[in-house]
C-alpha cells in the first residue's frame, strides 16, 4: 500500500497531489492515507503536506537504495523487478547465494552497509554505511559454466557505460575493476553455482565507491570515490543506469549469443590495452605487453620473449608498471 502511495507521489516529479486524489487512486480513506504518509516520513521520505494542496516530495533524502526509489521509471524487463534492501548485512553476495535457488532471475540484493564485504580470493571489500553501492544480482543464464566469467565483462562494460551516461569517464581494468583517475572506484565479484554442463545460478556482486571521502590506510593509495573526484551523483541514478545498461548487454549475450557490444566497450574503455603491465600469479610477477581482449573476452598479452599468450580471467591479478593501473 505504502509502495503505491510513494510511487504516485514520485510520479508527480515534485508537484502536489491532493489527499482526495490519492485516496481515490488507492481506494482508502484520506485519514488512512495520512497515516501512511506519517510512516513514509519516518522512513526518511521528505514529504511536505500543505493545506488544500496536498502532498509533495521535496527531495529523496539520503538517496536511499530502496525498491521504491530504484524501480521508479526503471527501464528494464527483469533486472530489478524485485529488490531486497538492507540497512546492514554481512555480504550481499552471501545472502544472494542463500536465496538464489528460490528467486527469479533479476532479483537484486542491495545494502547500505556490508560488515563482511568480499573481494576475489577471500580478499576484503570495504563497504561503509551510505558511502557506496553494494549490490548483488541473481542471474540464471542458459550458458555453460566455463562461460560465466563473461558476465564480469558485461558488468564492467555496463558500469563504465552507465557512468559515462552520467558524465563520468572511467576505464575498465580487465577483468573486474573500474578505474577513475588511475584509482579503483568499483570492483566486481562474479560467483557461480553449477553442475558440469549447467549453470544453476550466478551471483553478480558489484561494489562502487560513491560518497567515501576517507579510505582506510590499506587502500588509500589505490581507491577513490565519485565524490572524492568531485562527481556528486545520486546513488539511485547510478544503480538505475547500471541495471538498464546491464540488461541490454546481458540480453544480447544470452538471447542473441552476441558478445560484440560488450567487447567493444571493454576495448574502448580499457585501462590496459597497449600498455605494459605486471601479471601477478601466486607469487610470481611477469612484465608483459597487453595487446587486446579477444572474442571470448580473454586478455591477449605479449611476453618478453615475444610469444603471445591468452590469459583467462580469474587466473591472474594485474598491476600497472608505475602504480595500480
User: Given the rule CB under 6 A, which residues bind ligand BT5?
Assistant: 91-93, 114, 117-121, 123-127, 134-136, 176-177, 184, 187-189, 205-207, 209, 219, 223
Could you write out the DSSP letters of every residue in 5-32?
A: HHHHHHHTTT--B-HHHHHHHHTS-HHH
Q: Is 157 helix (H, G, I), strand (E, B) or coil?
A: helix
Q: How far is the CB of 116 from ligand BT5 (least distance, A)?
A: 7
Nearer to ligand BT5, 48 or 214 (CB): 214
Nearer to ligand BT5 by Cβ, of 80 and 205: the residue is: 205
State the Cα–Cα distance between residues 174 and 265, nearest whole angstrom. Answer: 12
Place of cell 568531485: 230
The interaxial angle of helices 235-256 and 260-268, nearest 10 deg, is 130
Query: Would you say 36 or 97 has its CB closer to ligand BT5?
Result: 97
State the nearest-atom distance from the C-beta of 22 to ligand BT5, in Å. Answer: 36
Q: What does R_g of the chain's alpha carbons equal in angstroms? A: 22
For the bound state, the minimum distance from the C-beta of residue 88 to ligand BT5, rounded and expressed in Å, comes to 13
**Residue 118 or 240 having the CB closest to ligand BT5:** 118
Residue whose CB is less far from ligand BT5, 9 or 154: 154
3-state SS assignment for residue 221:
coil
Q: Measured from the CB of residue 270, what is the shortest distance to ligand BT5 in angstroms?
A: 16
**Nearest approach, Cβ of residue 225 and ligand BT5 (Å):** 8
Minimum distance of ligand BT5 from residue 298's CB (angstroms): 17
Cβ of residue 190: shortest distance to ligand BT5, in angstroms? 9
Residue 55 or 67: the one with the smaller Cβ distance to ligand BT5 is: 67
Q: CB under 8 Å to 223, separation ≥6 — which residues?
A: 126, 183, 184, 185, 209, 212, 215
Question: Which residues touch 13 (CB under 8 Å, ≥6 apart)?
Answer: none
* DSSP characters over 88-147: SBS-HHHHHHHHGGGS-TT-EEEES-BSS-B-GGG-B----TTTEEEEEEEE--SS-GGG
Alpha carbon distance 7, 87 (integer Å): 21
Whose Cβ is closer to ligand BT5: residue 223's or residue 226's? Answer: 223
Question: For ligand BT5, which residue has the nearest CB?
Answer: 187
Beta-carbon contacts of 221 under 8 Å, excluding residues fewer than 6 positions away, are 323, 324
Beta-sheet strand order (sheet of 299-302): 308-311, 299-302, 284-293, 276-281, 317-320
Nearer to ligand BT5, 57 or 138 (CB): 138
Question: From CA 273, how far away is CA 292, in angstroms rounded?
Answer: 6
Smallest distance from ligand BT5 to CB 66, Å: 17
Amino acid at each position: 500500500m505504502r509502495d503505491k502511495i510513494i510511487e504516485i507521489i514520485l510520479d508527480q516529479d515534485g508537484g502536489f497531489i491532493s489527499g482526495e486524489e490519492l485516496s481515490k487512486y488507492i481506494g482508502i480513506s484520506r485519514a488512512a492515507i495520512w497515516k501512511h504518509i506519517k510512516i513514509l516520513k519516518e522512513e526518511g521520505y521528505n514529504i511536505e503536506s500543505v493545506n488544500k494542496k496536498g502532498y509533495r516530495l521535496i527531495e529523496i533524502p539520503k538517496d536511499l537504495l530502496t525498491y521504491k526509489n530504484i524501480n521508479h521509471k526503471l527501464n528494464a524487463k527483469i533486472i530489478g523487478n524485485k529488490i531486497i534492501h538492507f540497512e546492514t548485512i554481512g555480504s550481499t553476495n552471501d545472502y544472494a547465494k542463500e536465496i538464489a535457488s528460490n528467486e527469479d532471475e533479476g532479483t537484486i540484493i542491495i545494502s547500505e552497509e556490508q560488515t563482511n564485504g568480499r573481494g576475489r580470493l577471500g580478499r576484503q571489500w570495504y563497504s561503509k554505511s551510505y558511502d557506496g553501492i553494494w549490490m548483488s544480482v541473481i542471474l540464471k543464464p542458459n550458458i555453460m559454466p566455463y562461460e560465466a566469467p563473461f558476465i564480469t565483462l558485461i558488468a564492467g562494460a555496463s558500469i563504465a557505460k552507465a557512468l559515462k551516461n552520467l558524465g563520468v569517464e572511467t576505464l575498465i581494468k580487465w577483468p573486474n575493476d573500474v578505474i577513475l583517475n588511475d584509482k579503483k572506484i568499483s570492483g566486481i565479484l562474479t560467483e557461480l553455482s553449477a553442475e558440469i554442463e549447467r549453470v544453476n545460478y550466478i551471483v553478480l556482486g558489484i561494489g562502487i565507491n560513491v560518497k567515501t571521502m576517507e579510505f582506510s590506510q590499506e587502500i588509500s593509495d589505490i581507491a577513490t570515490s565519485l565524490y572524492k573526484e568531485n562527481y556528486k551523483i545520486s546513488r539511485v541514478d547510478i544503480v538505475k543506469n547500471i541495471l538498464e545498461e546491464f540488461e541490454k548487454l546481458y540480453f544480447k549475450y544470452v538471447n542473441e549469443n552476441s558478445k560484440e557490444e560488450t567487447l567493444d566497450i571493454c576495448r574502448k574503455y580499457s585501462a590496459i590495452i597497449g600498455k605494459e603491465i605486471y601479471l601477478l600469479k601466486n607469487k610470481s610477477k611477469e612484465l608483459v605487453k597487453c595487446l587486446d581482449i579477444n572474442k571470448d573476452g580473454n586478455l591477449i598479452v605479449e611476453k618478453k620473449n615475444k610469444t603471445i599468450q591468452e590469459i583467462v580471467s580469474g587466473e591472474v591479478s594485474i598491476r600497472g608498471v608505475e602504480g595500480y593501473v
